[in-house]
Amino acid sequence: MKKIKIIIADDHAIVRKGLIQIISETPDFELVDEASDGNMLLEKIVQHDLDIVLLDIAMPGKTGWEAILEIKNHFPNLPVLILSVSSEENYAIQFYKAGASGYITKDEAPEELVIAIRKVVSGGKYVSPLFAEKLLTCLEEDNERPPHENLSPREFQVLVMISSGKTLTEIAKELYLGIPTIGTYRRRILEKLGLDNTAQIIKYSYENKIV
């Protein structure tokens, strides 16, 4: 039996332990490695032949958002399944736009995680029944989309980094871009969100559970 090779990235040891148990109890799953932060994850990915990454959103160092953009830049065909404590559909959409193959909340049943992993590895996209229902409800009600859904993946990444307290210089260094370029992204973010300054960006991000 060919096993699905998995790496887990989550900064909570208890969460990793639970995931490891699910993997160990599933015959066609194999835990290859684990990481407690985004930087460690990116270092370990290059060391293994993997089938899927289980990625937490909120981690020290590089966030899940920063990590997925780097993963997709260097390993575009490596499936990423997002693990989150949040069921916010608007937040999940950004990860799908960034290249995630699935988004699942940590309180969903272990059986649902197994289904998600198998579907994603087979080349499909996973949307949980609860999330799919919420999306359909939004479409039926013709709800107005939140402004941050109009951001490009790179703009959203800069939004997250600004909201995490990083300066434009620090962001430019991490993304290997010029400071003026990051300034341009910041200006576009302000325009699209209808905001005036960095303090309002941070406030917006917390109110919308982006960070």
84 and 167 in one domain? no
Give the pLDDT score at 88. Answer: 60
| Per-residue buried b or exposed e for 162-197, using 16+ beta carbons within 10 Å of the residue's own CB | bbbebebeebbeebebeeeebeebbebbeebbebee
Give the pLDDT score at 162. Answer: 94
Q: Which amino acid is at 152?
A: S
Domain span including residue 182: 147-207
CB 90 within 8 A of CB 59: no
44 and 102 in one domain? yes
87 and 130 in one domain? yes
Count of domains observed in the chain:
2
d(CA 66, CA 140): 32
pLDDT digits (tens, 9 = 90+) for 38-71: 889 999 999 999 999 999 887 877 778 888 988 9
19 and 65 in one domain? yes
Residue ending a domain, among 122, 140, 158, is 140
The closest of 170, 164, 169 to 198, measured between CA atoms, is 164
Mean pLDDT of the chain: 86
Q: Give the domain CATH number at 163.
A: 1.10.10.10
82 and 134 in one domain? yes
φ and ψ at 202, to 5 degrees? -60, -45
Q: Give the domain CATH number at 67.
A: 3.40.50.2300
Give the pLDDT score at 11. Answer: 87
Give the pLDDT score at 141. Answer: 53
Give the pLDDT score at 109. Answer: 72
Residue ending a domain, among 140, 173, 191, is 140
pTM of the predicted protein model? 0.74
d(CA 65, CA 77): 17
Give the pLDDT score at 84. Answer: 81
d(CA 205, CA 198): 11
Residue ending a domain, among 117, 140, 163, is 140
pLDDT beneath 50, residues of the chain: 142
At 21, list the tokens: 């148990």
Give the pLDDT score at 144. Answer: 63
183 and 133 in one domain? no
